[in-house]
Chain A
Amino acid sequence: MADHDTALLDDALVLGGEKFGSRLIMGTGGAPSLDVLDQALAASGTEITTVAMRRLDPVARGSVLDVLRDRNVKVLPNTAGCFTAGEAVLTARLAREALGTDWVKLEVISDERTLLPDPIETFDAAERLVADGFVVLPYIGDDPALARRLEQAGCAAVMPLGAPIGSGLGIRNPHNIELIVEAATVPVILDAGIGTASDAALAMELGCDAVLLASAVTRARRPGLMASAMRQAVVAGRMARLAGRIPRRRYAEASSPAIEPGAR
């Protein structure tokens, strides 16, 4: 078979000891209804999707868990909304109890306005959760030093942001993402900031192992269509990464044969 047919056949994402065919992880936040979410999940082809933990609402109708069960995707609880390591550790333990998974997307934010991750609290929580047997996937800034420390602490992946959550600003510091990728021996998952398909493709071209996004799809005018675009962008970006881009040059390099000076 031709190279383009076979290149992705044996290219599973290995995360926390499990294999996944899709390198697109979709969050469930922001969807206007469970129906829209369900269609977007299907179109995205995702095999992992995040949920948040909140106080049970006695009058709530329909559960996101019903949708996910029917889609047969792996549920990844997050600790969104936590401001301290203590809150995040308790939330992760409650998620483990409620959902029967020891995987957690660790998210400890520093303030409501930027939702930027607090590196100190995140690292503290990561150490405690690793010690408690969790598969820890920490959401962090685009900080190569912190990424390395979290990997050394036993995290199963690192998840640097491209830009603030829900901002759709894309990848603000591609150079730092490349530095994180170069040094990491665990998967690097670009998390947050994706606005459109080219952002997702760029993340993969930079060498990220997967992309996690939600708002870019769930808040798009047509979520299912954007989910499909993201799916294809992640595949295209992965293929381009494996194929190897040409070096950037200052000046042109002719792609047609040069004309003999005497023939002019």
Chain B
Amino acid sequence: MNEGGTGPAPWPMAWVSRPGTAMKVTINGVPHDLPAGASVARAVQQLTPAVAGVAVALNDEVVRRGAWESTTLAEDDRVEVLTAVQGG
């Protein structure tokens, strides 16, 4: 059963947890483990299902809401998820 380790595995590779498939990102100052290639939208979902009144910065740059799905995160990225509160 593929003992040489060079041929294709007889099971979908997506099932396999391998080193390097998870990454650490910081969301609002707290470390989170996310799958490699996770999007900004996925990071927001870690905190809230809501998107109204919410804004995101990725490494100090605003990510427009329309780009949350298409913007992928990398190891050690810093994500800030902000909303309006009482103040001023």
**Residues of chain A whose beta carbon lies under 8 Å from any beta carbon of chain B:** 27-31, 34, 37, 50-56, 58, 60, 63-65, 75-78, 80, 90-91, 93-99, 105, 107, 214
A16 CA / B55 CA spacing, docked (Å):
24
Cβ of A146 to closest chain B Cβ, rounded Å? 20
Contact A80 B87 (CB under 8 A): yes
Q: Which of B54, B64, B65, B84 contacts A75 (CB 8 A)?
A: B84
A34 CA / B82 CA spacing, docked (Å):
19
Q: Given known contacts A55-B80, A97-B65, is B86 in contact with A65 (CB within 8 Å)? A: no
A56 CA / B57 CA spacing, docked (Å):
12
The count of residues in chain B whose C-beta lies closer than 8 Å to any C-beta of chain A is 22
Cβ of B13 to closest chain A Cβ, rounded Å? 34
Contact A53 B62 (CB under 8 A): no
Interface residue SS majority, chain A: mixed
User: Considering the complex, which residues of chain B in the window 41-78 have a beta carbon less than 8 Å from any beta carbon of chain A?
Assistant: 47-48, 53-57, 60, 62, 64-65
Q: Given known contacts A98-B55, A99-B53, is B83 in contact with A56 (CB within 8 Å)? A: yes
Q: Collect the chain B residues with CB atoms within 8 Å of residue A29's CB.
A: 86-88
Q: Which of B47, B57, B86 contacts A94 (CB 8 A)?
A: B57
Q: Collect the chain A residues with CB atoms within 8 Å of residue B29's CB.
A: 55
Contact A51 B86 (CB under 8 A): yes
Task: A80-B87, A98-B55 are known; give 19 further A-B pairs, CB within 8 A.
Answer: A27-B87, A28-B86, A29-B86, A29-B87, A50-B87, A50-B88, A52-B85, A53-B83, A53-B84, A54-B85, A55-B29, A56-B82, A58-B47, A63-B83, A64-B86, A78-B87, A78-B88, A90-B60, A107-B88
Is residue B22 contacting chain A, with contact meaning CB distance below 8 A? no
A52 CA / B84 CA spacing, docked (Å):
6
B62 nearest in chain A by CB position = A93
Contact string against A for B residues 23-48, beta-carbon threshold 8 Å, 1 for contact and 0 otherwise: 00000110000000000000000011
Contact A55 B62 (CB under 8 A): no
Contact B82 A94 (CB under 8 A): yes
Cβ of B87 to closest chain A Cβ, rounded Å? 3
Q: Collect the chain A residues with CB atoms within 8 Å of residue B86's CB.
A: 28-31, 34, 37, 51-52, 64
